[in-house]
DNA sequence: TGCACGATGAAC
DNA sequence: TTCATCGTGCAC
């Protein structure tokens, strides 16, 4: 499979988000290779985006978001679940794409619809924060055969506190895909 | 040093 | 609709 280059991530976040749909997320751990097709994402546009963690500025947690593109930003939410993001655009732009759902392709365990479930199924936790997505055991790749699909745009989930930013259509998913977390 | 609160998921 | 559960960010 064709691993996505750094330049893929170093572009407009909304564009990267939509182009990540249909791509394969690969994680090799404990001698097992797990693969899922990305079917739902959300874009977080940077420090000015009130829904983005980076809107609070550079902190210990958000350091990865302020780093260069093509790295994983993984954090613990509600003390229970992990969320996996891909850092986009130039260093210090502090933007990222949250992966919300996968369609199982290989060795995924349990459900994969929703950011927390997705991380559990493909064995991602915060030890993978700041991990390079151009590495050999954790990366995103183009599938062998690209499929045709329509992209649905909706407001992001769970960001009602973000004032007008909560209304922006920055959630993208593959139309009619059964693994999308919620209609 | 303490405390309110999540980019969620599951149960009731 | 409620709750589990803990790291983070900010108030004091």
The pLDDT, as a whole number, for residue A129 is 98
The model's pLDDT over A88-99, given as tens digits with 9 standing for 90+, comes to 999 999 999 999
Q: How far is the CA of A144 from the C1' of B5 (A)?
A: 43
> Is A125 part of any domain?
yes
Q: What is the CATH number of the domain that holds A93?
A: 3.10.300.10
Cβ–Cβ under 8 Å, residues A72 and A65:
no
Q: Which two tokens stand for residue A84?
A: 């996996």
Q: Which two tokens stand for residue A119?
A: 């991380």
Cβ–Cβ under 8 Å, residues A1 and A24:
yes
- Which residues lie closer than 8 Å to A148 by C-beta, 6 or more apart? none
> Is A179 part of any domain?
no
% of chain A with per-residue pLDDT over 90: 95
> Is A45 part of any domain?
yes
The pLDDT, as a whole number, for residue A183 is 60
Helix boundaries (H) for chain A = 6-9, 13-20, 115-121
Domain of residue A46, residue span: 2-174
> Is A142 part of any domain?
yes
Q: How far is the CA of A145 from the C1' of B2 (A)?
A: 55
Nucleotide nearest to A59 (CA to C1'): C9
Report, in this order, helix, strand and coil percent for chain A, each rounded to 5.
Answer: 20, 35, 45
> Is A92 part of any domain?
yes
Q: Which two tokens stand for residue A137?
A: 């055991």
> Is A19 part of any domain?
yes
Q: What is the DSSP letter of A146?
A: P
Residue A8 zone, left/alpha/beta (φ > 0; ψ -120 to 50; rest): alpha
> Is A183 part of any domain?
no
The pLDDT, as a whole number, for residue A10 is 98
Nucleotide nearest to A78 (CA to C1'): B6
The pLDDT, as a whole number, for residue A84 is 98
Q: How far is the CA of A117 from the C1' of C4 (A)?
A: 16
Number of folded domains in chain A? 1
The pLDDT, as a whole number, for residue A182 is 75
Q: What is the distance between the alpha carbons of residues A110 and A102, in angstroms, rounded to a whole number? A: 11
More confident residue, A1 or A103: A103
The model's pLDDT over A6-20, given as tens digits with 9 standing for 90+, comes to 999 999 999 999 999
Protein-proximal nucleotides of chain C (any atom < 7 Å from a CB): 4-10
| Residue A114 C-beta-side C-alpha neighbours within 13 Å | 10
Q: How many CB atoms lie within 10 A of CB A160?
A: 11
> Is A52 part of any domain?
yes
Q: How far is the CA of A47 from the C1' of B10 (A)?
A: 33
The closest of A135, A70, A128 to A96, measured between CA atoms, is: A70
């Amino acid at each position: 499979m064709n691993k996505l280059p750094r330049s893929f991530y170093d572009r407009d976040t909304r564009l990267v988000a939509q182009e990540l749909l249909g791509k394969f997320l690969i994680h090799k751990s404990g001698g097992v290779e797990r693969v899922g097709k990305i079917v739902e994402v959300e874009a977080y546009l940077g420090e000015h985006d009130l829904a983005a963690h980076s809107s609070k500025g550079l902190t210990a947690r958000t350091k990865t978001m302020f780093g260069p593109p093509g790295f994983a930003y993984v954090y613990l939410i509600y003390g229970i679940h992990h969320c996996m993001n891909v850092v986009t655009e130039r260093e210090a732009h502090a933007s990222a794409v949250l992966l919300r759902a996968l369609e199982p392709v290989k060795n995924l365990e349990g459900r994969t619809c929703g950011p927390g479930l997705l991380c559990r199924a493909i064995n991602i936790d915060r030890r993978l924060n700041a991990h390079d997505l151009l590495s050999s055991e954790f990366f995103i790749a183009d599938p062998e055969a690209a499929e045709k699909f329509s992209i649905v745009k909706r407001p992001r989930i769970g960001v009602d506190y973000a004032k007008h930013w909560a209304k922006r259509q920055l959630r993208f998913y593959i139309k009619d895909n059964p693994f999308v977390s919620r209609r």
